[in-house]
């Protein structure tokens, strides 16, 4: 599974974004972040928003904000989103994962543009396969078991 | 090839990630891409301290941006589950200096 | 190619409105957005920089510095948000995590 696929699926869900400078941005509508090479902006969208930015010990509520992808440290996504991605990849069959083509294009400047593009596609398929196998074996039971264990330790 | 980050073999395994800001995050690798952006499921952060045992904060599902990642390591789950975190003492890591 | 156009960034609606901009390095500027390009270079009028505490650069102070008409270099722009509707609020999290 590609991080971007998860992110696309996470549109419409609340998520927490930490920026490299330490600011936390919390959103409860959809956020769309272009990670990685393209470094486009993310958009956090209306209609019924709740964007909260934490800046040290101060908090701001804002109608929306755009965050440059490369300033993001991590995104915290609701747990259930990952299951939705899996459904999607299954039903879509061998369609290219979203964002992969774009990434190839993002690399356009370099001389091995063609290679980068092809490679990106290859990765996408390979990963989908790997993911599907893993899912088949592990299944939802294994997952919840693992989770319980993790929390217990914590 | 650049695609062979070597992470394919770690998918659906528990891994340990050290980020540029010195955090240690442990979770199940669900996916990655060419930029080493990672999907970590059921993840938790381990907070090290010299004064008390290792604290584990439950984080859940995370996407970590690749350029914020210092180290990705395999984790032996059996070995790991035998660790007594409450007795471990360690200095917290310092952030990466660029 | 799904292409360029899919960018989610729509700054058009902020033109002639107040925007808050955070830049890499930590500076914060508020101004009226007069123009922009696809690289996110921004033209801000009546821009005001919100100065930070010299001892603690993470803290913004009430001190301001007037900059006038400026161009913000796109590569340095980290965050853009409209000032309309942006309010400081009290801590909305019972227990702020990840701090």
**What domains lie within chain A, and their CATH numbers?**
3-76 (2.30.30.100), 81-137 (no CATH)
With respect to residue C33, please indicate whether it lies within any of the assigned structural domains. Answer: yes
Calpha distance B93→B20 (Å, rounded): 10
Least confident stretch, A5-9, A48-52, A81-85: A48-52
Spell out the alpha helix ranges (H) of B1-98.
77-81
Give residue limits of the domains in chain B: 8-82
Q: What whole-number distance in Å separates Cα of residue C46 and Cα of residue A82?
A: 45
**Chain C: closest CA distance from residue B93 (Å):** 16
- The C-alpha R_g of chain C, in whole angstroms, comes to 15
With a CB cutoff of 8 Å and minimum separation 6, the contacts of A95 are none
State the nearest Cα–Cα gap between B30 and chain A, in angstroms: 6
Residue C78: which of A59, A71, A105 has the nearest Cβ?
Answer: A71
SS3 C67: strand
Q: For residue C56, give its domain range.
A: 14-82
pLDDT, greater one: A148 or B63: B63
Are C91 and A34 inside 8 Å of each other by CB? Answer: no
| Partner residues linked to A43 by β-bridges | A32, A66
- Contact (Cβ atoms closer than 8 angstroms) between residue B12 and residue A134: yes
- Angle at the Cα of A48 (from B62 to C44), degrees rounded to 5? 85
Helix, strand, or coil (residue A60):
strand
Residue of C9, C80, C89 lying closest to A40 (CB–CB):
C9
pTM: 0.69
Q: What is the ipTM of this complex?
A: 0.85
Assess whether pLDDT exceeds 70 at residue A87: no
Q: Which of A5, A103, A154 sits opposite B34 (nearest CB)?
A: A103
Q: Touching check for A54 and chain C: CB below 8 Å?
A: yes
- C 19-78 → A contacts, CB under 8 A: 22, 24, 26, 40, 58-60, 77-78
Specify the pLDDT at position C92: 65
| Contacts with B59 from chain C: Cβ below 8 Å | 98
Do B65 and A72 count as a contact with CB atoms less than 8 A apart?
Answer: yes
β partners of residue A60: A53, C88
**Tens-digit pLDDT profile for residues B33-89:** 888 999 999 999 999 999 999 999 999 999 999 989 999 999 998 999 999 988 899
In CATH, what number does B8-82 get?
Answer: 2.30.30.100
- In total, the C-beta contacts within 8 angstroms joining chain A to chain B are 117
Q: What are the tens digits of pLDDT across the range A9-66?
A: 887 777 888 888 777 777 654 445 544 334 444 444 433 445 677 776 777 777 778 8
Mean pLDDT comparison of A14-23, A76-85, A90-99, C42-51, highest-scoring range: C42-51
Q: Min CA distance, B49 vs chain A (Å)?
A: 15
The answer as to whether C5 is a domain residue is: no
Give the CA-trace dihedral at A79, A81, A85, A86, to 10 degrees: 40
Instruction: Return residues 53-92 of B near A (CB < 8 Å).
Output: 56-68, 81, 85
Counting one residue from chain B and one from chain C, the pairs whose CB atoms sit within 8 A come to 3
Q: Tell me the C-alpha distance between A63 and A51, whole Å.
A: 6
């Amino acid at each position: 599974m590609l991080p971007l696929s998860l992110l696309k699926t996470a549109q419409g869900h609340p998520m927490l974004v930490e920026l490299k400078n330490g600011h936390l941005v919390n959103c409860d509508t959809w956020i769309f972040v272009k990670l990685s090479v393209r470094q486009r902006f993310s958009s956090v969208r209306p209609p019924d928003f709740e964007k909260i930015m934490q800046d040290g010990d101060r908090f701001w509520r804002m109608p929306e904000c755009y965050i440059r992808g490369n300033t993001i440290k991590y995104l915290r996504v609701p747990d259930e989103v990952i299951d939705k991605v899996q459904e999607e990849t299954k039903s879509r069959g061998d369609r290219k994962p979203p964002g992969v083509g774009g990434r190839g294009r993002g690399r356009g400047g370099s001389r091995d543009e063609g290679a980068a593009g092809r490679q990106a596609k290859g990765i996408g398929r390979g990963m989908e396969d790997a993911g599907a196998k893993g899912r088949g074996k592990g299944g939802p039971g294994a997952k919840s078991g693992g989770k319980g264990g993790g929390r217990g330790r914590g | 090839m650049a695609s062979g980050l070597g992470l394919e073999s770690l998918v659906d395994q528990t891994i340990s990630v050290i980020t540029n800001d010195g955090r240690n995050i442990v979770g199940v690798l669900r996916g990655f891409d060419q930029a080493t952006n990672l999907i970590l499921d059921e993840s938790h952060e381990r907070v090290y301290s010299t004064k008390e045992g290792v604290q584990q904060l439950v984080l859940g599902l995370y996407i970590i941006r690749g350029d914020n990642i210092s180290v990705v390591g395999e984790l032996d789950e059996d070995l790991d589950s035998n660790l007594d975190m409450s007795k471990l003492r360690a200095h917290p890591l310092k952030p990466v200096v660029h | 190619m799904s292409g360029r156009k899919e960018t989610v960034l729509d700054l058009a609606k902020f033109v002639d409105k107040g925007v808050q901009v955070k830049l890499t390095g930590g500076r914060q500027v508020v101004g009226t957005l007069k123009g922009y390009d696809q690289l996110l270079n921004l033209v801000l009028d009546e821009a005001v920089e919100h100065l930070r505490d010299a001892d603690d650069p993470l803290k913004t102070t009430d001190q301001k510095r007037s900059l006038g008409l400026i161009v913000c270099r796109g590569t340095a722009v980290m965050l853009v948000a409209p000032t309309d509707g942006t309010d400081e609020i009290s801590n909305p999290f019972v227990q702020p995590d990840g701090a």
